[in-house]
Amino acid sequence: MKIIRIGFKTAFHDFQTKAKNVKEFLERSHKVKIEMRLFGREKNFINLAKEKMEKFLELLKNLIDIKIEKELKEESIGLTMIISKK
């Protein structure tokens, strides 16, 4: 399993770069865990963080067919999700 970390303040261009990395991992038959770590006051904006994760997921769906193994979940560190290739 590979892990991709996304920050709360990550820009769209960086999302595209990370999406390409996820695509490579999925093409090699790895599962990918996507994490968004939230620090300090960022934890107060959990709804915005969820929206960013959904946008990243939509970007991935445009690149490759994915299957969500584990839905978006709030954890103590932030948000996590596990995906794999269909």
In this predicted model, what pLDDT tens digit does every residue of 3-43 receive, in sequence order? 999 999 988 899 999 999 999 999 999 999 999 999 999 99
Instruction: For residue 59, give both structure tokens.
Output: 């970007």
- Which pLDDT does position 19 carry in this prediction? 93
Which residue ranges form the domains of the chain, and what is each CATH number? 2-85 (3.30.110.10)
In this predicted model, what pLDDT tens digit does every residue of 38-77 receive, in sequence order? 999 999 999 999 999 999 999 999 988 999 999 999 988 8
Q: Tokens 């599962």 correspond to what residue?
A: 31
Phi, psi of 85 (to 5 degrees): -80, 145
Task: State the alpha helices, DSSP H only, in the chain.
Answer: 12-27, 46-63
| Helices 12-27 and 46-63, packing angle to 10 deg | 50
